[in-house]
Amino acid sequence: MFKFLLVFFLTGSSALPNDGNDPNAICGKWISVHKDYLVQVYRDGNTFKGRTLWFKNKDTSKAMDEWTDKHNPNPDLRGRKLVGINILTDLTYNAKSNSWENGRIYDATKGSFWDASVSMTKDGSLKVTGYWHFKFIGKSVTFVRYNNERLIN
């Protein structure tokens, strides 16, 4: 039974996201389903990256564009603005699984890096998973295509 569950989680339980096997299907602007994070995913050579465009912050003591990467493990990067940084890097498209794998995701709230993978669901949502060694014990966030709605911080 354990082997079955392990295989089930490692191969992914959702249907193939991108029936056309288009590596660029993840490119564009995506907003989290909680409407608290907006990213732009783009291709950079043979890899894909995602940068922060907007985020909702409970602490309103500063404007969004004033927040810096103060938790970054590299002291030289602690002064950079959070808006515009690449939080998703090094994703490569895997045509066999129709997913984007072997990436890294950065959690600026803690200054932590995690392994990352991305897949698309049947309904066209983007499922971003951050994990440490094993996907099935990671955390996933779902994003939908951004339709240029007004964002309020």
Query: How high is the pLDDT of residue 46?
Result: 96
Cα–Cα dist 118/26, whole Å:
9
pTM above 0.85, yes or no: no
Cα–Cα dist 47/90, whole Å:
5
Sign of CA dihedral 104, 113, 133, 31: negative
CATH architecture for the domain at 23-145: Beta Barrel (2.40)
> What single DSSP character describes residue 16?
P
Query: How high is the pLDDT of residue 151?
Result: 80
Collect the ranges in the chain with pLDDT lower than 70. Answer: 1-20, 153
Q: Where are the domains of the chain?
A: 23-145
